[in-house]
Amino acid sequence: MKFKLFLLGIATFSFAASVDGIYMYKEKFNPRGVVGGTEIKTISPDKIQFLIQASSKKAHACSAEGVAQLKGNKAFFKDDEGYIEIVFGDNYLEVSAPQFAYCGTYGWMTGRYVKEAPKTTTLNQSSPKLTDSEYEHIKKASPDYAAAEKELSRAYANLKKSLNSNQKEQLKTEQVEWIRFRDQKAYEADKKGTQKYINTLIGLTKERIVNLNIAGNNSKCQNR
């Protein structure tokens, strides 16, 4: 019996995780001209986090977010403003809510939302240059790299504040050249997206952060 219950719990969580994603408003009968979307994220086997944003052609917006209780294929949320019921189907969901809850006078968010297909990024192995989508892909794949990139942006911005116009242009040129250098070195280390490739990106990014911070401190001292 315990084994059976364990399997039931796994199945419930598997369903909950499968509902995660972004859904766009696709109601066939849509006289209000509603556009919008819903984002769903599982936080436990019986709870989901949701965000619903929609607007009508009269520009009356709807917005609701919260944590809903999930039971089977239905989720329910209630607060002081109203209630929301979300029923999940095969790659779609149905939202039900009182007309004036969470919306402007002519706002509307009740209806069917169809799940968006996840966007996939193919890494181009023929070039060391990283496109914007490839950067985003690698940041999602590696929290350590994402953290290093965030710190790099902070160090760059801090240094830039202490520079005059000519120096800012020079820094911008140097940064572009450094990014090209970093991407080339990582490309030489291994294929894009591999752990060795990402580790090379992280290591060189951390070195750059140190150098930018040193330059920033020196610049502040000179300006005193």
- Per residue in 136-165, pLDDT (tens digit) is 889 888 889 999 999 999 999 999 988 999
Residues 108 and 11 in one domain: yes
91 within a domain of the structure (yes/no): yes
Please say which residue of 54, 87, 115 terminates a domain: 115
**Range of the structural domain that residue 36 is part of:** 2-115
Residues 105 and 166 in one domain: no
124 within a domain of the structure (yes/no): no
Residues 7 and 106 in one domain: yes
195 within a domain of the structure (yes/no): yes
pLDDT number for residue 15? 52
Backbone angles phi, psi at 190, to 5 degrees: -175, 180
pLDDT number for residue 17? 52
Element (H, E) at 198: helix 195-223
Residues 108 and 147 in one domain: no
Q: Which amino acid is at 31?
A: P
Residues 168 and 212 in one domain: yes
Model pTM?
A: 0.49
CA nearest to 94, candidates 23, 13, 30, 34: 23
In this predicted structure, which of 6-15, 39-48, 74-83, 93-102 has the lowest mean pLDDT? 6-15
202 within a domain of the structure (yes/no): yes
Residues 13 and 98 in one domain: yes
pLDDT number for residue 75? 96
In whole angstroms, what is the distance from residue 14 CA to residue 9 CA? 9
Residues 74 and 109 in one domain: yes
* Total domains in the fold of the chain: 2
Residues 94 and 167 in one domain: no
Residues 64 and 143 in one domain: no
* β-sheet bridge partners, residue 36: 54
Whether 112 has a pLDDT exceeding 90, the answer reads: yes
For the domain that residue 28 is a member of, what is the CATH number? 2.40.128.120
192 within a domain of the structure (yes/no): yes
Residues 98 and 158 in one domain: no
Please say which residue of 84, 115, 146 terminates a domain: 115
122 within a domain of the structure (yes/no): no
Which pLDDT band, with edges at 50, 70 and 90, does 74 fall under? very high
3-state DSSP assignment of residue 220: helix
163 within a domain of the structure (yes/no): yes
Residues 73 and 39 in one domain: yes
125 within a domain of the structure (yes/no): no
Residues 94 and 9 in one domain: yes
